[in-house]
Amino acid sequence: MDLAARVMSVVGRTSLSESSTSPVNNCQKIGKVMDVSDGAFIGGFIPSLIEKQRYPYSRPEFLYFSDEEISLSSDHSIRPVLCPRLPHKMPLYAGYAEVINAGKTIQNEDQASAKMLVLSQHQGTEMNGFHDEKKFETRNGSVNEVEDDPMLTPGGDESEKSNIFAPRADAALFSIFDGHAGSAVAVVASKCLHEHVKSRLCEILDTLLHLDRHENLNFGKHRSESSYSMSKVRITLDDECRIRSEQLVKGALETSFLDMDEQISQDKQVWRLPGGCAVISVLVFLGKLYIAFSANAGDCRAILVSSDGTKALSRDLTPSSERKRLQELAYRNPELIGNSFSRLEYSKKLTRSDLKSRVLYRDWFMDGWAVKTVNETDLRPSLISESSRKRRLLNTIGVSRGFGDHHLLTVDERLSIKPFLSAVPEISVTNLRDMNTLSDKDVVIVASDGLWDVLSNEDAGLIVRSTLGSTDSSDSSRYTQAAQDLIAAARGQQASGNLKRWVMNSGGHASYDDITVFVIPLKYCAAPPTNFEEEDDDEMLSLE
């Protein structure tokens, strides 16, 4: 993903209160961050001393590549397609492949992670305390890895099983992070996001599993309405309150995305973490797929491929589609754009010659358009401007969601952009039980914009179905072969006579960008490796 040339990533007076949100834990921390940013570094710039990275650049660990191999694989002129060395060890036998860009950036700015999460109920009741201590080691300056998780295979984490009476479950999490202005934030997110998700799921696991079981019991009775009144069981919720297990998973994803962004904000005080990343995650849990995306149109996308065709599981979140949110923020906090930008959207690009003429516009509360007479204020650059073909926020950045960018300022006015960026994910849920039949050719494709820039959803679906149709169903590497074929199609071949040109088989321009693809088989998602005990329900219900 490109950033406009005028972008600077520096430590500035970022108003973190606009974007950090976890209300319970973070209020105090935000204050601290502000102090450090403003006080410790003269002029607000990161001194070049802070060049150390907590997680140096690498490729996903599930590839099992040596440093030398990683170095060799990043040849921009050859662009080899990388696949996991041990496909049968991938969570849920998911396929994976990646390729580096054709020279746009030295490093591959895409990152990916694939994890089995072995979940067990947190035992503490004083959540405010333990939750933070567990996660934010950086505050003590400690460099301990948070990676206490089974890497690749389910059930590998024995330490989590010490209390055999605690409720347990397994989940799988696949994420793609599309970095901009460097790969640092994408790398950190790929190492840590699953820990935040796991932690949030473990907080609520007992209630979640209980609800899920009762929803399944009632499945036959209320197929269309799977909500379940918690008042019917011994949980201390009011009668009117109907909460479903799905909503607890959503809440865990929502809060963990903000946890991740908050961690990046804190890590930035100690480590070098320029830039940001878009993110899309697929959580496979209790027979459902949760697609959480805090990503830009085309940057990352998930589609479902079945015999019925393809179906988008994520939607566009762009400065354009988020216009009303961004405009309302500027309306309520006009200091965020100062006198440098106009909040309004106009039907045309205004120049001085438009002064006193009439123009169509829309403001934060409008789906429609109204007319106004152009005045001097309207000649300011638009909050959401059109530069070339992509709409940019504050004339700078083409994304409106994701992680990082905490210190991104506009060049001329030194306005902080982070308050407009949101780490909040949108979440779509697919219940695999609602799908009539699942064949081993039904998959979810998750990929970065390197793929979607040159392949339509339909093309991608056809390629995968074709590969899976010609491979043996017992071959654990077939989904990785499908991912490979997707990459090969999107990257294309070097043109004969001009090795710097990449063309697709169709003859059209191939993708010059980093490309990353997961192909996740629904068959193994539908029957996830759960291993929680059949404990006595009523003993496990109370939230207290």
Give the CA distances from residue 394 to residues 234, 319, 406, in Å, rounded to whole numbers and listed in that order.
Answer: 52, 10, 15
Residue 254 engages its own copies in binding (rule: CB under 8 A) = yes
Which residue stretch of 107-115, 170-178, 251-259, 459-467 sits at the interface with its own copies (rule: CB under 8 A)?
Answer: 251-259
Residue 348 engages its own copies in binding (rule: CB under 8 A) = yes
Residue 376 engages its own copies in binding (rule: CB under 8 A) = no
Smallest separation (angstroms) from its own copies to the CB of 168: 18
Other Cβ atoms closer than 10 A to 124: 13
Residue 67, classed as helix, strand or coil, is helix
Residue 128 engages its own copies in binding (rule: CB under 8 A) = yes
Residue 424 engages its own copies in binding (rule: CB under 8 A) = yes
CB 514, CB 108: distance < 8 Å: yes
Other Cβ atoms closer than 10 A to 234: 13
Which residue stretch of 18-26, 212-220, 463-471, 491-499 sits at the interface with its own copies (rule: CB under 8 A)?
Answer: 18-26
- Return the residue of 357, 388, 496, 498 that touches its own copies, per CB under 8 A: 357
Residue 372 engages its own copies in binding (rule: CB under 8 A) = yes
- Return the residue of 30, 99, 166, 253 that touches its own copies, per CB under 8 A: 253
Nearer to its own copies, 143 or 355 (CB): 355
CA gyration radius, the chain:
24
Q: How remote is the C-alpha of 294 from its chain's centroid?
A: 5
Residue 230 engages its own copies in binding (rule: CB under 8 A) = yes
CB 111, CB 91: distance < 8 Å: no
Residue 349 engages its own copies in binding (rule: CB under 8 A) = yes
Residue 135 engages its own copies in binding (rule: CB under 8 A) = no
CB 76, CB 100: distance < 8 Å: yes
- Return the residue of 163, 229, 339, 347 that touches its own copies, per CB under 8 A: 347
Residue 120 engages its own copies in binding (rule: CB under 8 A) = no
Q: What sections of 312-453 are H helices per DSSP? A: 323-332, 449-452
Which residues fall within 8 angstroms of residue 273, CB to CB, at 6 or more apart?
53, 184, 185, 188, 264, 267, 404
**Rounded Cα–Cα distance for residues 115 and 96 (Å):** 13
Nearer to its own copies, 98 or 212 (CB): 212
Smallest separation (angstroms) from its own copies to the CB of 338: 16
**Rounded Cα–Cα distance for residues 267 and 146 (Å):** 13
Residue 359 engages its own copies in binding (rule: CB under 8 A) = yes
Q: What sections of 122-204 are H helices per DSSP? A: 127-135, 184-203
- Return the residue of 251, 340, 380, 413 that touches its own copies, per CB under 8 A: 251
Residue 21 engages its own copies in binding (rule: CB under 8 A) = yes
Nearer to its own copies, 9 or 19 (CB): 19
Which residues fall within 8 angstroms of residue 374, CB to CB, at 6 or more apart?
350, 354, 355, 356, 357, 358, 359
Nearer to its own copies, 373 or 473 (CB): 373
Residue 222 engages its own copies in binding (rule: CB under 8 A) = no
The one-letter amino acid at 333 = N
Dihedrals phi, psi of 226, to nearest 5 degrees: -90, 10
Residue 237 engages its own copies in binding (rule: CB under 8 A) = yes
- Return the residue of 331, 380, 413, 494 that touches its own copies, per CB under 8 A: 331
Concatenate the DSSP letters of all residues of 214-230 into one string.
Answer: HHHHTTTT-SS----BG
Smallest separation (angstroms) from its own copies to the CB of 34: 16
Going residue by residue from 381 to 400, which x/- string records binding to its own copies, judged by CB under 8 A? -----x--------------
Pick from 139, 14, 515: which is nearest to 301 by CA?
515
Which residue stretch of 91-99, 170-178, 366-374, 490-498 sits at the interface with its own copies (rule: CB under 8 A)?
Answer: 366-374
Residue 430 engages its own copies in binding (rule: CB under 8 A) = no
- Return the residue of 369, 431, 466, 538 that touches its own copies, per CB under 8 A: 369
Smallest separation (angstroms) from its own copies to the CB of 361: 8
Residue 24 engages its own copies in binding (rule: CB under 8 A) = yes
# of chain residues touching its own copies (CB under 8 A): 64
Residue 321 engages its own copies in binding (rule: CB under 8 A) = no
**Rounded Cα–Cα distance for residues 346 and 261 (Å):** 33
Residue 117, classed as helix, strand or coil, is strand
Which residue stretch of 95-103, 236-244, 435-443, 503-511 sits at the interface with its own copies (rule: CB under 8 A)?
Answer: 236-244
Residue 380 engages its own copies in binding (rule: CB under 8 A) = no
Residue 344 engages its own copies in binding (rule: CB under 8 A) = yes
Give the CA distances from residue 124 to residues 169, 203, 204, in Å, rounded to whole numbers and listed in that order.
Answer: 18, 9, 11
Residue 171, classed as helix, strand or coil, is strand
The DSSP call for residue 94 is -
The packing angle between helices 205-217 and 245-267, to 10°, is: 150
| Site residues (vs its own copies, CB under 8 A) | 18, 21-24, 125-128, 200, 203-204, 207, 230, 236-238, 240-241, 243, 246-255, 258, 329, 331-333, 343-344, 347-349, 356-360, 362-373, 375, 386, 422, 424, 427, 543-544
